[in-house]
Structure 1
Amino acid sequence: MDYEPAPSQVLPGWNFHVVEYPGYVKNPEKVLATLGGAEAIEKAFADDLNVLELRYRPDDPFSHPINGEIIHTANILLRVTTRRRRQKSMGPSGDKRQDTVRRDNQEPKVTTTFLGTVTKTCRFRAIADYQWLIDPNDPMGQLRRSMHNFDADGIEKFTLQLDKGPRKNLRNMPPPSFSRIEWPLDYGYRQNMAVVKVLIRRNDDAPPEMKLINRYRRQKFSAIQFSHNDKVVPSGPPLGASTANVPPEALTAMRQLFEKRSMWTRAALLNSMPKAYHSFMKVLLPLHAYVVTSGPWRECWIRYGYDFRVDPEARFGQIIDVRFVRNPRSFARAKRLIGVVEPTQLVSGRPSVTPGWTDRESTADPHMTPTTSNESHIFDGVTPTDLGTFQMCDVTDPDVLKMIHTKRHLRHKCHERDGWYARRHYDLIRDVTKKKIQLIQGKDVNINFHWDEDEGCSDHGSEEDAVGSADEEVQPLPASSLPVEIEATVKSKVDALMKSLQTAQKGALDDEEDVVAREGEEAGEFDYFDVFGDEDDEDD
């Protein structure tokens, strides 16, 4: 077929800036007022601010703006003109009525004209922030309006009014921003492929009922939980345990691990099992072991039939639980401004950080990277790790290893809190391990790792006296110090959050390393002795 070529036109050399206004434009003056006026628009496009604020209530200083992003485009501005033939209709008395469009089969005439190129476009794609309407007669609201309008008389008339007694409507002033989410999230809803619709017949004459049935629903069973006060140790897996979907090789590998060692942590099992079987751990663990809920073997998986309360060798399976192992993370800047450059992007060659969070390794030594190998459950006193729970048998540090294998500070009977070790000695092992982790992280810790096996024993010839001396109660922290530390920690976090909110409103980039350091120092002062939340020790 022969096509008629389209007419060609010359593109003028004019450059335009376009604002995609999210609304119907009826009054251009009001539209300009919502955008801050022509001067604000001109400044945003000329100074490369990349941000243009839209306020639907320009007279309200508490109105939170919608941020528009200015981007570079290469669009063409096209003017479309539609001409329709109109005819005038005369009234019965000869008066002229309003012009009406002639409705006939004649198509309107459409003409197009190229005006120029659109080099910049302001788009409002961000989600609007929550809005808060305050009482217009509130003194704080009047003060804010006076400051916004530079009304000196209104500022001088302001008097602070305190609330007397409880009130239903509190005079709360809105913060600079409520939400930090600017872009809509893609939910990505999909119907479950295993769920099908089935018609279920009834006994009566009623029509069948539509129900949803999961075709691939598997029978679930949970692990057996065990506590120190339980009398009988579980001897086998729970009822309903099935190995239908588990490879035989995975069952053999797990059985060999528990034959080699009776107690494991989940991290140690994951590092010892092949990666191909990691997806079956939820099924493999309850088939071979039970889990301890509290005490010195907390969260350890123990082989069925093995009672750690009667075997002194089970002390090597006790855990060393150390809190505050990971480096503290700084508060992310609560931003509501599109186009603000992240601090990490100012350094050439450094990738940007995910918005809303900061990388926890960003404040740490770059040479001290936590290990991700299959030996992350082993504590050697040299390799950095994110784990804070280790079993005694997984410790290879020579200083801690001497304290673990000592036989002078042991109990004659397993204790609910300290296991087979004396309380003071168990706390000493945890204390030395924690300080070694702090040294690995580069913190300044004053500790002497020299330890004498006879330390703390009043009579070297009597083992019972040594145990009794080691079982003395640990002096708790003063009761008044804990609330002060908690109050200081909360106050520092509130100050850091308010600082980040002010930074977001101004679009500034502030350094928050001091906040991170202060938070880390306060976090390290918490008591780590009472790990399991138990009461004072009882005499054996």
Structure 2
Amino acid sequence: MEFSPLNAHKHNLQRELVCIEYPGIVRNPERMMASFGGNLELSTTIASEKRRLELRFRPESMYSKPAFGDRHATAGLVLKIKARRKRNQPNDIHVSSIEIAGHVNLMYRFESMCDFQLLPAVPNKAGELECIYNQLVPKGVITSIPKENCSNVPYFLPPISFSRYDTAQLCIFKAKEKAPNKLSRGEKSRPSRTKHGMYLQFNMTDPLPTGPNPLAAQALQQRQVQQETIRLISNSFEDRPIWTKAALKGALQLSEDDVRYILPVMGLYYLNGPWRGTWVRFGYDPRNHFESRYYQLLDFRVRAIGALHDKIKVKRTQNPIKPCMRFANPASNSRDTTKASLTRTVALESSAIFTMDTLPQMRIIFYQYCDVQVPRIQQMLEKIPTPQTGVTCNEKTGWLPPRFDEQCRDILTDIVLSNFRKAKETDSAATSEFEETEGTETEITFDEDDDENEFGDMEDLDEKGFPEFD
């Protein structure tokens, strides 16, 4: 029917409606609304942008697993059509009027699969299935005292969800291949990565390599890294022979891709010991140089004092991700099976330097002593007596005296606690900004990318017996 100005008043374009593609034939609108949980539940879901629409085909049962509808933006019109049909010719339809009932900007579609359903039914003595829902779910107010020893109580304890995903996953299951010889603790069965770096365990006897692996230089040439970046890093190692990756990226304002293949050419990497997590320039032996005490590593951990521990983000979550399909794009459903991109943003210089005004972004941060710009700690480093000629460093504490790191941690804890109290008392806006700050692990810790690729997570290595340098 063509548009006419005479019936323009019948159209209602200002009315905003929501479209729901119901996965079924609706014959009873009341039962359809009950499957959504009623008007209140439906309105609450529509008002929340991240929540998914739940549809329960058995709304009267609390064990019914819902199907979830996803929210989609759309543009459309809802038409109200009146048509006439002859009784003797049902296929002959004549449209008498068409009206616009409203416009649609939001639509819910049920495109995902429903979770597995487990009915509360058990076989009885006759071998027939019997529904025990009424025995499990009480009705009304219970006035009688339950018996202490009830032997006839049915057991029905289904999990919250059977499947972690509500979309089809491409999985090819096969039996795991058993290795003929079991690997010892700490060994890896996977092939080594392609950076070809020198990753060494710290000891006092083995000589240090004087040059990089030739394959590391080839990998650097293949990556076509800018010569200006190589020159900057080379000059930095000439001025300072030992760096952590975080400190180097922060000082030169470089990204992960800039230093990833350059560091294996510039120096070796210590996996443990006083200089663990640092890159040492080829030709420089920290075991023979007393000034290398400034480059030793200090692992600072924020202590659980008052509300300070709760205001600082953890390095990584310790709890496994639980499936939550009620909200759109849950972590368990949107996880990408492919490896994440290795490109990092430019690191902040302040993430590897501790000053008198520092508020840490993470509970565990690794600093080199030269980057701890606290006058008291620098004075303590200067007062360490120079060892006699021929004396080497300690395998655990390096050139520092015993329990030196504990004293430094106490000093840093007092400074952080004082800064937090000042920020909380003087400026509430600064405290709110501090609470919402989320640092990235790669910007604060040392060489996680290299360590995880070649030798696993450094946190796991700590738990396997690496010394704490006490």
TM bucket (normalised to shorter chain) is 0.5 to 0.7
| Alignment partner of 1:377 is 2:352 | yes
| Partner in structure 2 of residue 264 of structure 1 | 243
- Can you list the C-alpha shifts for 1:330-371, whole angstroms capped at 9, x where unaligned? 9999976679xxxxxxxxxxxxxx998xxxxxxxxxxxxxxx
| Partner in structure 1 of residue 265 of structure 2 | 287
Task: Tell which deviates more after alignment, 118-127 or 410-419.
Answer: 118-127
| Partner in structure 1 of residue 426 of structure 2 | none
Closer, same or farther: CA 536–128 of 1 in aligned 2, 3 Å: closer
Checking the alignment, whether the CA contact within 8 Å between 2:77 and 2:101 is kept in structure 1 is yes
Unaligned runs of 5+ in 2: 123-129, 169-192, 304-310, 332-346, 424-431, 436-461
| Partner in structure 2 of residue 428 of structure 1 | 407
Closer, same or farther: CA 111–327 of 1 in aligned 2, 3 Å: same
| Partner in structure 2 of residue 133 of structure 1 | 118
Unaligned runs of 5+ in 1: 88-98, 102-107, 164-169, 186-218, 340-353, 357-371, 445-512, 517-529
Closer, same or farther: CA 294–284 of 1 in aligned 2, 3 Å: same
Which of the residues 120, 138, 147 maps onto 1:146? 138
| Partner in structure 2 of residue 441 of structure 1 | 420
Which of the residues 67, 77, 81 maps onto 1:79? 81
Select the structure with the greater relative contact order (CA < 8 A; seq sep ≥ 6). 2
Checking the alignment, whether the CA contact within 8 Å between 2:56 and 2:64 is kept in structure 1 is yes
Aligned length: 360
- Can you list the C-alpha shifts for 1:178-229, whole angstroms capped at 9, x where unaligned? 89999x89xxxxxxxxxxxxxxxxxxxxxxxxxxxxxxxxx94321101113
User: What's the secondary structure of 1:130's corresponding residue?
Assistant: coil
Which of the residues 404, 426, 430 maps onto 2:381? 404
Deviation at 1:49? 6.4
Q: Which amino acid aligns with 1:36?
A: A
Closer, same or farther: CA 43–355 of 1 in aligned 2, 3 Å: closer
CA distance in 1, matches of 2:43, 2:88: 42
| Partner in structure 1 of residue 369 of structure 2 | 392
Checking the alignment, whether the CA contact within 8 Å between 1:319 and 1:390 is kept in structure 2 is yes
Checking the alignment, whether the CA contact within 8 Å between 2:66 and 2:115 is kept in structure 1 is no
Deviation at 1:410? 7.3
CA distance in 2, matches of 1:221, 1:37: 57
Checking the alignment, whether the CA contact within 8 Å between 2:242 and 2:281 is kept in structure 1 is yes
CA distance in 2, matches of 1:132, 1:44: 23
Checking the alignment, whether the CA contact within 8 Å between 1:321 and 1:389 is kept in structure 2 is yes
| Partner in structure 1 of residue 27 of structure 2 | 28
CA distance in 2, matches of 1:46, 1:385: 39
Closer, same or farther: CA 144–109 of 1 in aligned 2, 3 Å: same
| Alignment partner of 1:225 is 2:203 | no
- Can you list the C-alpha shifts for 1:63-86, whole angstroms capped at 9, x where unaligned? 233466799998332327596997
CA distance in 1, matches of 2:402, 2:151: 54
Looking at CA atoms only, which structure, 1 or 2, has the larger radius of gyration? 1
Counterparts of residues 357-368 of structure 1 (less than 5 Å)? none
- Can you list the C-alpha shifts for 1:427-478, whole angstroms capped at 9, x where unaligned? 222332233233333399xxxxxxxxxxxxxxxxxxxxxxxxxxxxxxxxxx
CA distance in 1, matches of 2:21, 2:284: 72
CA distance in 2, matches of 1:376, 1:259: 23
- Can you list the C-alpha shifts for 1:407-430, whole angstroms capped at 9, x where unaligned? 249795322321111222232223
| Partner in structure 2 of residue 238 of structure 1 | 213
Checking the alignment, whether the CA contact within 8 Å between 1:74 and 1:117 is kept in structure 2 is no
Q: Which amino acid aligns with 1:118?
A: G
CA distance in 1, matches of 2:158, 2:212: 58
Checking the alignment, whether the CA contact within 8 Å between 1:32 and 1:38 is kept in structure 2 is no
Which of the residues 298, 304, 310 maps onto 2:276? 298
User: What's the secondary structure of 2:283's corresponding residue?
Assistant: coil
Checking the alignment, whether the CA contact within 8 Å between 1:34 and 1:55 is kept in structure 2 is no
Checking the alignment, whether the CA contact within 8 Å between 2:22 and 2:109 is kept in structure 1 is no
User: What's the secondary structure of 1:302's corresponding residue?
Assistant: strand
Deviation at 1:380? 1.8
- Can you list the C-alpha shifts for 1:30-83, whole angstroms capped at 9, x where unaligned? x64253179934885699867975211223212233466799998332327596
Checking the alignment, whether the CA contact within 8 Å between 1:246 and 1:280 is kept in structure 2 is yes
- Can you list the C-alpha shifts for 1:132-172, whole angstroms capped at 9, x where unaligned? 5154349995455334xx3859x877877689xxxxxx853
- Can you list the C-alpha shifts for 1:253-310, whole angstroms capped at 9, x where unaligned? 22211111110111221123254x7633111111111111112211101001221122
User: What's the secondary structure of 1:57's corresponding residue?
Assistant: coil
Deviation at 1:379? 1.6
Checking the alignment, whether the CA contact within 8 Å between 2:116 and 2:163 is kept in structure 1 is no
| Partner in structure 2 of residue 488 of structure 1 | none
CA distance in 2, matches of 1:47, 1:288: 57
User: What's the secondary structure of 2:286's corresponding residue?
Assistant: coil
CA distance in 2, matches of 1:141, 1:395: 65
User: What's the secondary structure of 2:95's corresponding residue?
Assistant: strand
| Partner in structure 2 of residue 318 of structure 1 | 296
Closer, same or farther: CA 57–37 of 1 in aligned 2, 3 Å: closer
CA distance in 1, matches of 2:107, 2:146: 42
CA distance in 1, matches of 2:131, 2:392: 70
- Can you list the C-alpha shifts for 1:359-392, whole angstroms capped at 9, x where unaligned? xxxxxxxxxxxxx753432222223343611111
CA distance in 2, matches of 1:306, 1:38: 70
Closer, same or farther: CA 130–227 of 1 in aligned 2, 3 Å: same
| Partner in structure 2 of residue 117 of structure 1 | 101
RMSD of aligned Cα (Å): 5.3
Q: Which amino acid aligns with 2:211?
A: G
Checking the alignment, whether the CA contact within 8 Å between 1:34 and 1:54 is kept in structure 2 is no
TM-score (normalised: structure 2): 0.59
TM-score (normalised: structure 1): 0.52
- Can you list the C-alpha shifts for 1:219-242, whole angstroms capped at 9, x where unaligned? 943211011136120211112222
Counterparts of residues 158-237 of structure 1 (less than 5 Å)? 171-175=156-160, 220-229=194-203, 231-237=206-212
| Partner in structure 2 of residue 505 of structure 1 | none
CA distance in 2, matches of 1:162, 1:236: 76
Q: Which amino acid aligns with 1:146?
A: P
Closer, same or farther: CA 49–299 of 1 in aligned 2, 3 Å: closer
User: What's the secondary structure of 1:35's corresponding residue?
Assistant: helix
Identity of aligned residues (%): 21
Checking the alignment, whether the CA contact within 8 Å between 1:291 and 1:300 is kept in structure 2 is yes
Checking the alignment, whether the CA contact within 8 Å between 1:409 and 1:422 is kept in structure 2 is no
